[in-house]
């Protein structure tokens, strides 16, 4: 099946720094990539949808200047959490879709801890 | 926005059936989905059901959909220890499959 990787799997950073998370589709071209945030005991929340070469579409309530998304190629999207604060600590998951049917393939997630 | 509800935990004995329930709010969702999340791995699409169907069977998995009550369930027959994971149901938002709303996830623990 289609494989999506994320890097890093875990990151700890100091408050005020920026963190970049990469999402790669390893064996297919992802026309669309999605970024989710997972809260403990709560839903997986869609943050934004990005199409290759276009600006990301952010969900209501998600700050686009805080969570910068770049989808520069058909196999790579990056999420940069700028000026991270402890409340940004969470599990961030990306998914990728090739456009066939409705299936999104999910990465393993990145756990961000902001001290 | 859409609100998808699931109970957080379920424990069953190996060999028994597991039933994971989900309620959703968006009746316009064309498909409804079940995903499985194992530790350290991404979410995997387990199965999905077209909204005009009320049942779908796929080997040990049976999905039941009650559209009137907006209730979706996933039944796993002969549950095995390898089925221990978190199961998420998901409905589509206004952009269809490009806009999935997930439930809270149900952690299934299978007791040997």
CA A30, A5, B1, B96 dihedral sign is positive
Output the pLDDT for position A102. 63
Q: For residues A70 and A48, what is the distance between their CA atoms, to the nearest angstrom? A: 11
Nearest to A105 by CA among A30, A48, A54: A30
What average pLDDT does range B66-83 have in this prediction?
95
* Residue B1 reports pLDDT greater than 60: no
User: Quick one: tokens of A113?
Assistant: 């801890």
Name residues of chain A where pLDDT drops below 70.
Answer: 1, 41, 100-102
Please tell me which of the candidates A36, A95, A102 has its beta carbon nearest to residue B31: A102
CB atoms B40 and A42 under 8 Å: no
CB pairs under 8 A between A and B: 55
Structure-token pair, residue B49: 């059901």
Question: What is the C-alpha separation between A77 and A101, in angstroms, rounded?
Answer: 21
Interchain CB distance below 8 Å, A46 and B100: yes
User: How far is CA A20 from each of CA A40, A69, B27, B54, rounded to the nearest angstrom?
Assistant: 22, 9, 37, 43
Nearest CA distance, B80 vs chain A (angstrom) = 23
Chain A: residue nearest B93 by CA? A46
- Whether B99 has a pLDDT exceeding 80, the answer reads no
Look at residue B2 and tell me whether its pLDDT is greater than 70.
no
Minimal-distance CA residue of chain A relative to B89 = A43
CB spacing of A43 vs B1 below 8 angstroms: no
Residue B61 pLDDT: 97
Residues of B in contact with A49 (CB under 8 A): 95, 98-99
Mean pLDDT of B14-32: 91
Q: What is the mean pLDDT of residues B59-64?
A: 96
Q: With beta carbons under 8 A apart, name residues in chain B contacting A60.
A: 1
The alpha carbon of residue A115 is apart from the nearest alpha carbon of chain B, in Å, by 23
Higher pLDDT, B97 or B8: B8
């Amino acid at each position: 099946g289609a494989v999506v990787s994320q890097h890093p799997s875990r990151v700890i950073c100091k408050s005020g720094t920026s963190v970049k998370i990469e999402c790669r589709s390893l064996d297919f071209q992802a026309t669309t990539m999605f970024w989710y945030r997972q809260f403990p005991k709560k839903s997986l929340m869609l943050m934004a949808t990005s199409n290759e070469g276009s600006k990301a579409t952010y969900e209501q309530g998600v700050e686009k200047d805080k969570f910068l998304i770049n989808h520069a190629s058909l196999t790579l999207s990056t999420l940069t959490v700028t000026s991270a604060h402890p409340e940004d600590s969470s599990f961030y998951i990306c998914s990728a879709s090739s456009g066939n049917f409705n299936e999104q393939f999910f990465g393993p997630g990145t756990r961000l801890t902001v001290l | 926005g859409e609100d998808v509800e699931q109970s957080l935990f379920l424990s069953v004995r190996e060999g028994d059936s597991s039933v994971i329930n989900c309620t959703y709010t968006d009746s316009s969702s064309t498909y409804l989905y079940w995903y499985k999340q194992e530790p350290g791995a991404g979410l995997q699409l387990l199965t999905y059901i077209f909204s005009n169907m009320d049942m779908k069977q796929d080997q040990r998995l049976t999905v039941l959909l009650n559209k009137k009550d907006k209730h979706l369930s996933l039944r796993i027959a002969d549950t095995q220890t390898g089925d221990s994971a978190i199961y998420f149901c998901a409905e589509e938002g206004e952009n269809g499959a490009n806009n999935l709303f997930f439930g809270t996830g149900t952690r299934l623990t299978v007791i040997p």
